[in-house]
Amino acid sequence: MAATTTVSRLQDAVLEAAARLYVWALKDIPQDLRDALGDAAEKETSVTGQRVLQTILRNVQVAEQERNLVCQDTGIAVYYCRVGERFPLHPARIYEALRAGTERATLEHPLRSNTVHTLTRENTGPNTGYRVPIVHWDFVPGWDGLDVKCVPKGSGSENMSFLKMCVPADGVRGIKRFVLDSIVGAGGKPCPPGIVGVGIGGSADYAMHLAKEAIARPVGTRNPDPLVAQLEDELTELLNETGVGPMGLGGDVTVLSVHVEHADTHMTLNPVAVNYQCWAARRASAHVAASGDVRYDRDA
């Protein structure tokens, strides 16, 4: 009986957290992102780029004052969960809670509902549907907590996703070329300057999964592997030489940062995936303890 109470209380706590995170992410962008956009405005020398960045900064302020959404696209709800081995709620129940939380936030706020059946294009409900929300899972041995991060992913940037199965002979050069080509080709469509997520290695599907993990990191953070971190720095610098600029109207700042995640791969594979996150790189996180206590975290 006591165990059942704990479980249902925990499920409610996760549901509540999901609902709050979704709305919070949409209204109040994290400090690291505000700082990065401020730095971009300091660096930008073009007239059009400056106009765009000043408008972006003003918009972030107005969203705060008016308690309105930063961007009208409430996105597709993506959650990232790190589940401790000893967290008392099974992931099947965590998923139920995330789905119910997404629905509650959508109906109570109310938020625009974007989810449709892929073939019929009929709306499927309050930002939920078959296999939506989308959840990335990670499991932590020994731990009894749960970390949840909500990333409402807008379609303008998600439409600018690219995958290439480079061959081993293409090497790192092939990876770099593909990222550069993809982002220049995307132009102003994904609302630059944003975060470029790159996934390398693994398999075709896993490379894209890693690219999506990469965009969820706080902007400008670096991969712990120094070789990968070096690639992040180099790609960031090279992309900012291309002159695509804010909203693709020309300028110095094309990206805020490139984040790379990697997995080891087959000796004859060299997959590279690109997933773009717009300047309004919305995310919000919470830590749920085994007791059901929730701590919200602006920085994670």
Partner 1 sequence: MSAHEITFPTTEEQIRALKAGDEVIVQGHVIGIRDRTQIRIFDQGVEPPMDLSGAFLLHTAPNVRKLGPGRYEPLCVGTTTSARMVRFTEPLGERYGVRAICGKGGFPDEAIEPMRRLGMVYFAIVGGAAALETTQIEEIEEVVWEELMPECLWRFRVKDFGPLTVGIDAHGNSLYRDVQERARKKLEDIYARL
Q: Does 51 bind partner 1 (CB under 8 A)?
A: yes
135, 79 in Cβ contact below 8 A? yes
The stretch among 85-93, 183-191, 207-215, 217-225 that binds partner 1 (CB under 8 A) is: 183-191
Among 125, 145, 188, 220, binds partner 1 (CB under 8 A): 188
The stretch among 37-45, 69-77, 143-151, 201-209 that binds partner 1 (CB under 8 A) is: 69-77
293's CB contacts (< 8 A; 6+ apart) are 13
| 27 vs 43 by CB, closer to partner 1 | 27
SS3 220: coil
Closest separation in Å from C-beta 81 to partner 1: 26
Site for partner 1, residues 212 to 271, rule: CB under 8 A: 238, 241-245, 247-250
Q: Report CA-CA distances (Å) from 121 to 108, 111, 117, 125.
A: 24, 19, 5, 12
Tell me 111's DSSP state: -
Mark residues 265-294: x for contact with partner 1 by CB under 8 A, - for none: -------------xxx--------------
The β-bridge relationship of strands 76-84 and 134-140 is parallel
| 30 vs 84 by CB, closer to partner 1 | 30
Strand partners of residue 257 = 195
CA 70 to chain centroid: 15
Closest separation in Å from C-beta 124 to partner 1: 16
Of 194, 199, 212, residue with least CA distance to 254: 194
| 171 vs 205 by CB, closer to partner 1 | 171
- Measured CA to CA, the distance from residue 7 to residue 160 in angstroms comes to 40
Q: Does 87 bind partner 1 (CB under 8 A)?
A: no
The stretch among 17-25, 129-137, 175-183, 214-222 that binds partner 1 (CB under 8 A) is: 175-183
The stretch among 4-12, 45-53, 144-152, 213-221 that binds partner 1 (CB under 8 A) is: 45-53
CA 224 to chain centroid: 19
Closest separation in Å from C-beta 252 to partner 1: 12
Q: Does 25 bind partner 1 (CB under 8 A)?
A: no
CA 157 to chain centroid: 10
Site for partner 1, residues 112 to 171, rule: CB under 8 A: 112, 154-156, 159
Q: What does the DSSP assignment read for 159-218?
A: TSEEEEEE-GGGHHHHHHHHHHHHHHHHTTTT-SSEEEEEEEEE-HHHHHHHHHHHHTSP
Q: Which residues bind partner 1 (CB under 8 A)?
A: 47-48, 51-52, 55-56, 58-60, 62-63, 66, 68-73, 111-112, 154-156, 159, 173, 176-177, 180-181, 184, 187-191, 238, 241-245, 247-250, 278-280
